[in-house]
Amino acid sequence: MPVRDFRKESEIREWVRRESEGEHLSIEETAHVVLCLRDIVLWYGGGIPNYDLDPFMVAVVKNDFMRACGEADDVNGKILPLYAKFLYNNLPGDWREKGEKIK
């Protein structure tokens, strides 16, 4: 399965708003989450090197729930399941193997 083609941040924003976790986010919180998800898509596609992902996103793509909880800011801590849904529904299944290779 190819990476879902999110060409615009607006497409990611619409996806976030459709999900139950995203319904209660403020405009600013939504913008923050959209940028994080966009960076994950870019990372998977090779557009962002591993070293440019922040510690929260590294934990997410490494499928390390405990670390993700510890690294999450106030916004991301509220919506951790949204990241799981995003990865599962929008990236090919090998994102885990690619994430595990991050040092």
Claim: this prediction has a pTM higher than 0.75: yes
At 6-63, the pLDDT tens digits run 667 888 999 999 999 999 999 999 999 999 999 999 899 887 888 889 999 999 999 9
Write the DSSP string, the chain. -PPP---SHHHHHHHHHHSGGGTT--HHHHHHHHHHHHHHHHHHTTSS-GGGS-HHHHHHHTT-HHHHHHH--HHHHHTHHHHHHHHHHHS-TTHHHHHHT--
